[in-house]
Chain A
Amino acid sequence: MILLVALATGLLFGGAIYLLLRRSAVRLLVGLVLLGNGAGLLLFTMGRLRRARPLDEPGAPLVGADPLAQALAISGVFLGLALLVLVLALICHAAAAAESDDMDQADQAPVSDAGG
């Protein structure tokens, strides 16, 4: 089982980094989302996989997934969301100023134009 999870984690990270290395702003955004997901999965897996009860079933035994790993993953997911929002705003601002999806052109766009 862990092999499958490792495969998914590796693919998420690899795909995310490949997307982050592209010139396109959209790909950067998508890559960031994948990276956040990969980090969540990695953190969760660090608490080891355990399947006691899929969801809240009354009377089931008490053992569930490691709550600490879950709590860390939840914090991580939220921080990823905050990061994504900030990058979204930055990229929307830059791309609207450069009128291009190409990050290299956004680099050189005049900043003063962007405020509208």
Chain B
Amino acid sequence: MLALMLLACLFAALVSFVAGRSLRRASGWLAALVPLLLFGLLWQQIPPVLMGATPVETYRWVEDLGGGLAFDLVLQLDALALSLALLVTGMGGLLAACAGFYLARNRSPGLFLLALLGSIGALLGLVLAGNLPTLLLFWHLALPSAYLLVGHRSEERHAQQSAMQVLIVGVGSGLALLAGLLLLGQAAQSVGVGPPAAYSFAGLQAAGASVANAPLAGPAVILVCLGCAGWLALVPLHGWRAGALAHAPAPAGAALVACISPGGLAVLARLHPILSGSPIWGYLLLLLGSAGLLGGAVLALRQRTIPMLLACSASSYAGLAVLLAGVGGDYAPLALLMTLLTLALSHGALLLLLGTVAQQTGTDDLQQLGQLFAALPITTWLATLAALSLAGLPLFLGFVARGLLFEAIFASPLPEPVRAALIPICLIGGALQMVVAWRLVYRTFFGTRPARTLRPLREAPAALLIVPGLLVSWALALGLPELGMPNALRVLCREAALVIAGNPAGLAGAVGPEVALLQGLGWPLIGSLVIMLPGLVLIYFEERMVGLLASMPGGQAAGGGAAPLVDGLQRGAASLTGLLERGHLRSYIAGAVMVWLGLVGPLFVAFAFGANGADLPPLALLLEDIRVHEALVILVVVGGAILTPGARSRREALIGVVGVGVGLALFFALLSAPDLALVQALVSAITVVLLLLAFAWLPRRCDWAAPRGGMLRDALVAGGAGLLVAGLTVAAAGDQSFASLAALPPEPGLVANPAAAPGSTRVAAILADHRALDLLGVLATLLAVLPATRGLLQRGLEHLERGPASGRGSLLLHMALPVLAPLLLVLSASFLPGGQAGPGMGLGGGLLAAATILLYVLVAGPAAVQRMLPVGYLTMTALGLLFAAVWGSLGLLASQPALAAVLPNQTVPGLGAIGTPLLFNLGAYVVVVGVATNVALLLAAAPATARPVPEPPESSAPSTPLPPPASDAHQPGPAANGARAAALTAGQAPPQDEQ
């Protein structure tokens, strides 16, 4: 049921987002339905929860992270969760109902309602969370919706900044909390709590005080407290909420104060029974709370605008709640809950009411408002009642909270001097809060000067009065426990307080403190009346005090504290982006290589030269067993690798590439890898042909001679990368932890003739069977490249279909080809069945066939080859892949894994071994042929514009891979460049003209 509630919130959020477009303001009422419905459902849960039932729902989330660490999604509904959930859903529903009226008329409220319901859902999840991962999940889910809420007026720069502040503070607090809770889990494991229990509240609590006294618990406590202080906007970190309240619509501000603050306090309340044993937990909370209480109240008096004042006042109340969490004892949890309720109800009502005032008068500046009482009597009454509750006057919730506060301090287990110090702090804080409440209402609605308004004032629509009215009446009802507060709620609050105190079996066992107003004229009552005295005195001096505070340095900057930080962060991010995003491929590559070097390089150096240096194979092993012919082959590769980067012409570069390709193929062949050698040789040949064809597209104007800029830097980066790769190769050579597959006996069924199967044929078996999914992926990649190439080389495609069917090849090749080509094709086909019994396979065969066709392209011209085949090459390739996939999926029909060899190769006389592997290979063959041929054809049909104008260079037909057009050979000097450019411009004939 709990999970369904969360899903209902999500669903309602999405529905109201859609409905907001058509229903406009009325969509708020629709959106309010679900939270209010949830409120009702939760209300019905009060009796069973009070009877001791605690529904817990557990969902598997992360199955197993290794070491038995699995995370579940745990939701639980105990008294604490229930009371906070009632607050969140009730407030959320009311805010949603009136939200539509506060938003600009010309904009759909859908996005706002989406954010509002989203944050309600996230906070509901937060208060229901039963373990640390769930808590963190919902904490972070609340962030984006808070961001959207605050940034609703997205066209205003201040709203954008405030939203950014919310995000930055929220992410920062979230990270602190994440680190803190992870440390807490570690601390629990260090004292012997198992992984699942170490991350659940119940498990941690069961472990007792040993967790709180573990060495890691100290940092955990600090991080958790910092995270909560940021989220609750306690005074040093209050800037984000001041900015948010000043620039967001009133319901958003009310949601921030009344729904999101309970989230932060819920975390503290959940962790309190676990961490209260820690020596620093209480004192840290007292410190943060006192600073928040006094700082918030003082800052509130310095503010000129209503939202800023309310923001600082809310910070002050949140500080009081945090302080109470640190006080401990029997009464403190109850006082905490009452303070939280006062904070939420009164601030929520005031924000909504004064939001309508600001809308009507067009200003929220306290100095320009005044004497609105006559025009807005109902608003005035409601605001006054809410402010009286804030001030802690009798009959109101605030009064109960104050009384419990002092009772809690007296009943606290803290040492005597601390308690003595707390009393003046709370007295001064309470007095200042009274002044704040008085100032707010008096300056707005009474005051000495009348407000200058643009138009006659009228009471706000009824809906806007009903919602704050409900909140105020709750503040009244809860303040009169004996008269107004339903008995169930009273017991619920007591039970919730017992949960915070870590004694959930309250009903059965010890009797906790009651929420009481008039439990006799005890001295707590007198105390709470006494604390009103300094407040009254201060109210008398309000004007002077405010003047004094305003004249102090620091100016008006309540929200200003975080603004420079946010600006700085944004500027830093922008300059970092500018630094990284140069828009040049080479800067991205350089960045990636340098990151790789920076990450892997130090590790490798530590490995090679550190204490474990012995892990590197000895030099003798590296140098042993060098044979002259292999060394020569390697030196060909080395020569090619040196020649290519230093090449001064395309010809030299191509020679280097050929050297590398042929050298590698020979090397593979010598080291008994015939399959790889075959593929390497054929791919090298095809690559060179494609490069040659592509060079015809590329203009001759190039910077071969003088590449501009940063050669040394690039050489350093590249050299470092090369060195690291070489080092890794050497390091891997010493590793003996994996046995080679080569020595294993062949499996029957996969290989046609196991007795005759040499080790190398396993490659075919691996490719076509064990790793057939890889092969299918390779084929799909090849196929995917084809349409992209066709799209990019569109111009070539048109040229191809209309071009002349004449080749430029040598006469000798032209004559030899009709004899040569069928032989080569037959040879390539013979690789297919051989794929299981000898070197070669579908891929290799396809490559050979493609190389043959490429020879045709060079000799007979692309157009002739294009017309040779009735079906398009793209179709052919796709059919090939389909063919391979169909044979591969046969395994599924035979209830075997996909791509299994369902029909092992059977030897058919005259044809070789035939079975599903062979058919699969046939598909691969077709794909390779289709892709290679098609790309070559497209590249071969280079547009006339890209070709050099004089024909002679082309006449040295590239019939063999090596010689590029002759004009490339000499160096393009500046003068030659100019002349060539002129020739290019002159020869820019479109293809049509050429025909």
Contacts and interface: CB of A to CB of B under 8 A. Distances in A.
B730 to A, nearest CB: 5
Contacts of A24: 702-704, 707
Given A75-B775, A81-B683, A4 B626 contact: yes
A101 B650 CA distance: 12
B437 interface: no
Contacts of B701: 99-102
B593 A7 contact: no
Contacts of B740: 47-48, 50, 66
B673 A44 contact: yes
Interface string B686-730: 110011001101111111100110100011011101111111011
Contacts of B932: 81
Contact of B617 (A2, A5, A7): A2
Contacts of B674: 55-56
Interface in A1-45: 1-31, 33-34, 37-38, 40-42, 44-45
Interface string B722-763: 111111011011000000111100000000000000111011
A75 B774 contact: yes
Contacts of A16: 718
A101 B661 CA distance: 25
B795 A17 contact: no
Contact of A21 (B589, B670, B991): B589
A10 B672 CA distance: 23
B653 A26 contact: yes
B7 interface: no
Interface stretch (B49-57, B521-529, B781-789, B909-917): B781-789
Given A37-B660, A65-B760, A3 B742 contact: no
Contacts of B741: 66-68
Contacts of B694: 29, 88, 91-92
Nearest to A4: B634
B626 A77 contact: no
B669 A46 contact: no
Contact of A74 (B624, B675, B718, B725): B675
B691 A30 contact: yes
Interface string A56-70: 100010111111101
A93 to B, nearest CB: 4
B395 to A, nearest CB: 73
Contact of B644 (A15, A28, A90): A15
A7 B788 CA distance: 37
A25 B653 CA distance: 13
Interface string B917-943: 000000000001001100100110011
B622 interface: yes
Contact of B585 (A62, A77, A103): A103
B645 A89 contact: no
Contacts of B794: 115-116
Contacts of B703: 23-24, 101-102
B663 to A, nearest CB: 8
Interface stretch (B474-482, B635-643, B894-902): B635-643
Contact of B717 (A17, A79, A100): A17
Contacts of A13: 721-722, 725-726
Contacts of A41: 637, 664, 667
Contact of B793 (A26, A52, A65, A93): A93
Contacts of A2: 617, 621-622, 729-730, 733
A53 B975 CA distance: 57
B984 A30 contact: no
Given A8-B638, A77-B683, A78-B778, A92 B672 contact: no
Contacts of A75: 767, 771, 774-775, 778
A82 B722 contact: no
A73 B759 contact: no
B644 A19 contact: yes
A31 to B, nearest CB: 8
Contact of A104 (B584, B641, B699, B710): B584
A67 B762 contact: yes
Nearest to A108: B583
Contacts of A6: 622, 726-727, 729-730, 733
B798 interface: yes
B931 A5 contact: no
A66 to B, nearest CB: 4
Contacts of A96: 697-699, 795, 943, 945-946
Nearest to A10: B726
A33 B657 contact: yes
Contacts of B732: 45-46
B657 A15 contact: no
A89 B759 contact: no
A86 B785 contact: yes
Contact of A89 (B668, B676, B726, B792): B792
B983 interface: no
A65 B672 contact: yes
Contacts of A5: 634, 729
B759 A34 contact: no
B586 A10 contact: no
B631 interface: yes
B839 interface: yes
Contact of B586 (A4, A23, A46, A99): A23
Nearest to A20: B589
A9 B766 contact: no
Contacts of B210: none
Contacts of B838: 56
B536 to A, nearest CB: 73
A71 to B, nearest CB: 4
Nearest to A80: B683
Given A4-B638, A21-B710, 4 more contacts: A23-B708, A51-B630, A67-B763, A74-B676
A-B residue pairs, 3 tightest by C-beta? A14-B722, A10-B726, A101-B702
9 contacts: A2-B729, A26-B704, A62-B742, A85-B785, A89-B792, A90-B792, A92-B942, A101-B698, A101-B700
Interface of A: 1-31, 33-34, 37-38, 40-42, 44-56, 60, 62-68, 70-71, 73-75, 77-86, 88-93, 95-96, 99-104, 107, 115-116
